[in-house]
Amino acid sequence: MNTSESPSPQRRFNTRLGLFLFLVYLALYSGFVLINAFAADKMEIIVLVGLNLAIVYGFGLIAFALVLALIYGMLCQKDPAEDIATEEAAAAPGDSK
């Protein structure tokens, strides 16, 4: 537990990256929800290979979540503080009665 320590540059990078990707997804999700709420008729428009906007946007949101998750997983940096904590935990497994 190291909330009082200043975070490592790696952790700061990860946090900012996470927030950025979160905002990207939030914008897309909000778009979907707002179209549904205030222009539901638009969801019937056929947009791709005979499929309407509701299905394409809905499947797109699911697929895009995975794409963003993979980007995040690839770009995230290893926090050195974690290695120390993991080693300490391995050395003292704690309550194992």
How far is residue 72's CA from residue 66's CA, in Å, rounded to a whole number? 10
To the nearest whole angstrom, how small is the minimum distance from the Cβ of residue 72 to other proteins? 7
d(CA 82, CA 97): 26
Give contact residues for other proteins (rule: CB under 8 A). 1-4, 11, 14-15, 18-19, 21-22, 25-26, 29, 32-33, 36-38, 40-41, 43-44, 49-52, 54-55, 58-59, 61-63, 65-66, 68-70, 72-73, 76, 78-79, 82, 85-86, 89, 93-97
Closest CB to other proteins among residues 91, 94: 94
The burial of 62, by beta-carbon neighbours within 10 Å (0-12 exposed, 13-18 middle, 19 or more buried), is given as exposed
